[in-house]
Amino acid sequence: MARTVSTRRRLAFTALAWTIALALFFPILWTFLTSFKSEGAAIANPPSFLFFDWTLENYHEVQERSNYFHHMWNSVVISFGSTFLGLLIAVPAAWAMAFSPTKNTKNILMWMLSTKMLPPVGVLVPIYLLFRDWALLDTLAGLVLVLTMVNLPIIVWMLYTYFKEIPGDILEAARMDGASLGQEILYVLTPMAVPGIASTCLLNVILAWNEAFWTLNLTAAKAAPLTAFIASYSSPEGLFWAKLSAASTMAIAPILILGWFSQRQLVRGLTFGAVK
Amino acid sequence: MATLHTKSAARAMMSPSVILLFCWMAVPLAMTLYFSFLRYNLLMPGMEEWAGLFNYEFFLTDPAFFSALFNTLILVGSVLVISVGGGLLMALLLDQPVFGQGIVRVLVISPFLIMPTVSALVWKNMMMHPVYGLFAWLAKTVGLDPIDWLSAAPLTSIVMIVSWQWLPFATLILLTALQSLDEDQMEAAEMDGASLWWRFYFIVLPHLGRAITVVILIETIFLLSVFAEILVTTSGGPGYASTNITYLIYTQALLQFDVGGASAGGIVAVILANIVAFFLIRLIGKNLEG
Amino acid sequence: MCTIRLENVTKMFGELAVIPGIDLQINDGEFVVFVGPSGCGKSTLLRLIAGLEDISGGAILLNGEDVSSLPPAKRGLSMVFQSYALYPHMTVHGNIAFPLKMAGMDKAEIDKKVMAAAKVLNLTEYLKRKPRNLSGGQRQRVAIGRAIVREPSAFLFDEPLSNLDAALRVNMRLEITELHQQLGTTMVYVTHDQVEAMTMADKIVVLNRGNVEQVGSPMDLYRDPANLFVAGFIGSPRMNFVDGGNAARLGATTIGIRPEHIGLDREKGLWRGVIGVSEHLGSDTFLHVHVEDVGTITARTGGEWTLRHGETVFLTPDPDKVHRFDESGRSMARAITPDLGALPRHVNGAPASGAPLQ
């Protein structure tokens, strides 16, 4: 900002921005607060914001009733597993597209993106039946496989845009220095692309963590991640809002915190590098 | 930089992605297409028989299909308008000098990071509940009758929830784009006597064109298949008032076990998505080239 | 140790022949410079030798052995890139050690070689730094260090000095020349700067639109350019070209005279002109003189030159140094000294024997 802005104007903008931001954030904050209330206080009218008896009881009960850590572990396995598998397949492909482009490269990228446009519901039935026949229903392996495929186009795209920013000269230098293709990727490309790869991983973990179509439809209990764990609280078996809040808080906290620390990379990643 | 060595290596390295994605897309799609011509219900195993176009006829003449199609379009359209419009305003506001901008950004992005099942549940119970929800309390405080959001205005409620999830995304992408706007250009326009509105219209808006395209593309991809929000809140009801295509097919497949019917629906959904994708990909291809 | 031979090497990019066909012999220990304007194919030619691009036809021979289909790593050549292409995530030590690591050398041996190279290149105290914390000249030296440690059979340089500022460029020019004299290894050097070509090369290859215009030692090219292109490209400031009547009288389509081969006189001479811009470099002055019927002629004179803009001056080319070119631009024999008497002479009123200037 080259120009100075009067303090009064600045304060006005600040007040407005904070009001809107807090309004947007409020449902999350409210969930967080409610998770520490007793069930009675949770539905009290008028609602109390800070002055209630804080309790950790809800967290205990949630863990006991529906085994939070079991589902959390599933979420971790699914999101990190699919990200890792996706990277393994996508890094070579993105290398090829960025550093050895052909006339078809753009078309292949567009085609990959277009597979994301394919509504998952269009292939739900066969995938469900195949998974049933292959005994992959309600297994972590099955979910990892599905989420890898679901997010692969995004991983390839993101890596491609990051790799394209790496000067080809440096890879050629490695080749002149006697590096094989594998060594070139391992010792030169990958370390240079670490920020890009990190932000790709991050976004992918978040997308996989929050993916709710496949995780809900292909799991029952054993492999159910947090999305399904929370959905089980939707059944109208009375108003257990405090417990619901505790469960929600636990389901979103890991990814929320991860996202806060990396929001810049996250946003840049999601635009496929189209917005700097 | 291309030699025969690197070119053949490139092909080899690209093939796992391409082959896997192709299988992921083609095999199930072919099966869906095949099933869609069968009378096939999981509750009646071994009774599969050729049904011709019956499933399509059934699906396409079902009044539920039209309301689902209509709901899908309303849902995607309204969320796009709200998130892009609201996101633009938010981005312009956050681009101003604001105290504690970092924290504001963190607060704003948060809804995007929440898993759909959680946000749907939180909104359904704690915000929109007709008796104990905060909206009800707010309405009563100002002397209005509380509304039962999810049964009185189910689609609107879902639009609200989904918009809440996607507004942050649009805001942050547009903000990132705004911050890369060349200050000199704005000052030059100011020197040329352009008013605030004209500067916005002729300089800021064209600059944001690319970012807006990206937002529309990505949001459309995800919005066409909104599922968990509906499953958790209204289950598509009352009636079909908040059923979209995705949810309609889900009910047919996994609740009524009608594989044939669901497959025909799936194929219809794919065709519809292709029509949308056709225009989007062209738009995006053009905009991402430059 | 290394001779490089190109036999009818061609390179097509799609339908476009970037290099229509080149034959070239580079002898062991030679410092060969490829020079030409941008887009002349010089970098492509270097990359073909390096193996970073495939040739479309012909053959590349190293020490008599056809390496056309070998990948870069197997050709035993080192390359220094225009952008230096240092590995940003490795220290200076890591950068220089990389080729040795790739060759599977053991760690003690690598350290010894890296230290030796660092010493030669004055990089010892920077070994722990990352490239981004180095100046342009230091980065350049790291790139050279990376090239020399593996003791290649030949070095390839792709415009290595073009990202340096003028003063540093002169320094590095000397350092590379010195390195060549120390190592005695074959070097192939690409540049668009004819000064680099003249000062560094044993042999210059002038390229234009993918064709070799002339090959020879710097002074050969300077004295006997084979054609208009080489004549215009080699030498600074550029050679003056005159065509029309003045050339025809000497039996040529175009004649060329270098600025340093023109005598200046206040009183008399072959051509009479009016001084336009004069550029003072201190040691030299370059005058741009407008001569009627001839055009603007650049002439070099000593540093202390007092005539100013708008004043009249007489120019006389050195008859031994006039180049003649035929209608296709090829150089014509210079066996006989052209008879400048054939050209009309101008005198400023006074007899034609006035004292020369300075």
| ipTM computed for the complex | 0.82
In degrees, rounded to 5, the angle at the alpha carbon of residue C129 between the alpha carbons of residues C104 and C154 is: 45
Residue type, B120: A
Does the pLDDT value for residue A265 go beyond 80? no
Distances (CA, A) of B111 to A13, B72, C212: 22, 22, 65
C78: left (phi over 0), alpha (psi -120 to 50) or beta: beta
Distances (CA, A) of B45 to A130, A217, B28, B41, B255: 15, 21, 20, 7, 16
Q: Which residue of B has its CA nearest to C44?
A: B1
CA distance C54 to C57: 9
> Residue C339 corresponds to which tokens in the numbers above?
């008879």
Contacts of C52 in chain A (CB under 8 A): 172, 175-176
Contact by Cβ (8 Å): A89, A81? no
Q: Does the beta carbon of A158 lie under 8 angstroms from any beta carbon of chain B?
A: no
In degrees, rounded to 5, the angle at the alpha carbon of residue B113 between the alpha carbons of residues B110 and B116 is: 120
Q: What percent of chain A has pLDDT over 90?
A: 8
Distances (CA, A) of B218 to A66, B173, B244: 34, 11, 19
- For residue C339, the distance in angstroms to the closest alpha carbon of chain B comes to 54
Lowest mean pLDDT among A5-19, B32-46, C64-78, C252-266: B32-46
**3-class DSSP state of A233:** helix
User: Could you tell me which of C86, C83, C113 has the C-alpha nearest to residue C97?
Assistant: C113
Contact by Cβ (8 Å): C128, C22? no
Q: Does the beta carbon of B80 lie under 8 angstroms from any beta carbon of chain A?
A: no
Nearest to B17 among A20, A90, A244 (CB): A90
Contacts of B10 in chain C (CB under 8 A): none
Identify the pLDDT of residue A260. 85
Phi, psi (degrees; rounded to nearest 5) at C23: -115, 135
Report the residue count for chain C. 358
Most confidently modeled range among A210-224, B256-270, C174-188 = C174-188
Contacts of C54 in chain B (CB under 8 A): 2-4
CB atoms near residue A236 (< 10 Å): 6
Q: Give the residue ranges of DSSP H helices in chain C.
A: 42-50, 92-102, 107-120, 136-149, 166-183, 194-200, 218-223, 228-233, 245-248
Q: Could you give the angle at which helices A68-99 and B4-35 cross, rounded to 10 degrees?
A: 130
Contact by Cβ (8 Å): A178, C102? yes
User: Is the bond preceding residue C237 a cis peptide, omega within 30 degrees?
Assistant: yes
Residue A2 burial by Cβ neighbours in a 10 Å radius (0-12, 13-18, 19+): exposed
Q: Could you give the angle at which helices B101-113 and A263-270 cross, rounded to 10 degrees?
A: 60
- For residue A171, the distance in angstroms to the closest alpha carbon of chain C comes to 8
**3-class DSSP state of A201:** helix
Residue with the larger pLDDT of the pair A269 and C13: C13
Identify the pLDDT of residue A10. 84
CB atoms near residue B72 (< 10 Å): 25
Bridge partners, C26 (sequence order): C4
CA distance B205 to B84: 12
User: Could you tell me which of C45, C17, C22, C21 has the C-alpha nearest to residue C33?
Assistant: C45
Q: What is the arithmetic mean of pLDDT over B198-206?
A: 81
Distances (CA, A) of A49 to A37, A45, A181, A248, B265: 10, 11, 60, 18, 47
CA distance A187 to B75: 48
Q: What percent of chain B has pLDDT over 90?
A: 10
Which H or E run contains A226? helix A226-231
Q: Could you give the angle at which helices A105-117 and B259-289 cross, rounded to 10 degrees?
A: 140
CA distance A27 to A24: 7
CA distance C312 to C276: 10
- For residue B7, the distance in angstroms to the closest alpha carbon of chain C comes to 11
Identify the pLDDT of residue C349. 46
Identify the pLDDT of residue C356. 41
CA distance C97 to C142: 11
Q: Do A172 and C98 touch (CB under 8 A)?
A: no
Contacts of C86 in chain A (CB under 8 A): 170, 173
Fold of B62-257: MetI-like fold (1.10.3720)
CA distance C143 to C181: 19
Give just the sign of the alpha carbon dihedral C4, C7, C8, C14.
negative
Within 13 Å, how many C-alpha atoms sit on residue A256's CB side?
A: 19
Q: Do B266 and A171 touch (CB under 8 A)?
A: no
Distances (CA, A) of B137 to B120, B155, B211: 19, 22, 39
**What domains lie within chain A, and their CATH numbers?**
7-59 (no CATH), 69-270 (1.10.3720.10)
CA distance A204 to A233: 26
Bridge partners, C34 (sequence order): C190, C205
Q: What is the 3-state secondary structure (H, E, C) of chain B?
A: CCCHHHHHHHHHHHHHHHHHHHHHHHHHHHHHHHHCCEECECCCCCCCEECCCHHHHHHHHCHHHHHHHHHHHHHHHHHHHHHHHHHHHHHHHHCCCCCCHHHHHHHHHHHHHCCHHHHHHHHHHHHCCCCCCHHHHHHHHCCCCCCCHHHHCHHHHHHHHHHHHHHHHHHHHHHHHHHCCCHHHHHHHHHCCCCHHHHHHHHHHHHHHHHHHHHHHHHHHHHCCCCHHHHHHCCCCCCCCCCCHHHHHHHHHHHCCEHHHHHHHHHHHHHHHHHHHHHHHHHHHHHHHC
> Residue C217 corresponds to which tokens in the numbers above?
């030692």
Q: Which residue of C has its CA nearest to A195?
A: C89
Please identify among residues 192-221 of chain B the ones whose CB lies closer than 8 Å to any CB of chain A. 210-211, 213-214, 218, 221
Tokens 């529309």, residue located: B216
User: Is the bond preceding residue B146 a cis peptide, omega within 30 degrees?
Assistant: no
Residue B29 burial by Cβ neighbours in a 10 Å radius (0-12, 13-18, 19+): middle
Contacts of C77 in chain A (CB under 8 A): 176
Tokens 């636990």, residue located: A250
Q: Could you give the angle at which helices A140-164 and A105-117 cross, rounded to 10 degrees?
A: 140
Per-residue pLDDT tens digits for A183-214: 888 888 888 888 888 888 888 888 888 888 88
Identify the pLDDT of residue C201. 92
> Residue A162 corresponds to which tokens in the numbers above?
């990051």
Most confidently modeled range among A101-105, B197-201, B215-219, C5-9 = C5-9
Per-residue pLDDT tens digits for A112-141: 877 877 778 778 888 888 888 888 888 888
- For residue B54, the distance in angstroms to the closest alpha carbon of chain A comes to 18
Contacts of A239 in chain B (CB under 8 A): 125, 132
Identify the pLDDT of residue C186. 92
**What domains lie within chain C, and their CATH numbers?**
4-228 (3.40.50.300), 238-347 (2.40.50.140)
Q: Which residue of C has its CA nearest to B2?
A: C53
Domains of chain B, by residue range, sit at 62-257
Identify the pLDDT of residue A235. 64
Average model confidence (pLDDT) for chain B?
83
pLDDT band at B153 (very low <50, low <70, confident <90, very high): confident
pLDDT band at B81 (very low <50, low <70, confident <90, very high): very high
Query: CB neighbours of C157 closer than 8 A, spacing ≥ 6?
Result: C79, C80, C176, C187, C188, C189, C190
Contacts of C51 in chain B (CB under 8 A): 3
All partners of chain B with 3 or more CB pairs under 8 angstroms: A, C
Tens-digit pLDDT string for chain C (358 aa): 689 999 999 998 888 888 888 999 999 999 999 999 888 889 999 999 988 888 888 899 998 889 888 888 888 888 999 888 899 889 999 999 999 988 888 899 999 999 988 988 888 899 999 999 998 888 988 999 998 888 888 999 998 888 888 888 888 889 899 989 988 899 999 999 889 999 999 999 999 988 899 999 999 999 999 999 999 999 888 999 988 877 888 888 888 999 999 988 888 888 888 998 888 888 888 989 998 888 899 999 887 777 778 888 898 888 888 888 988 888 887 645 556 666 666 655 443 333 344 3
CB atoms near residue C292 (< 10 Å): 10
Q: What is the arithmetic mean of pLDDT over B218-232?
A: 85
Q: Does the beta carbon of C51 lie under 8 angstroms from any beta carbon of chain B?
A: yes
CB atoms near residue B274 (< 10 Å): 15
> Residue C131 corresponds to which tokens in the numbers above?
């490239």
Residue with the larger pLDDT of the pair B1 and C216: C216
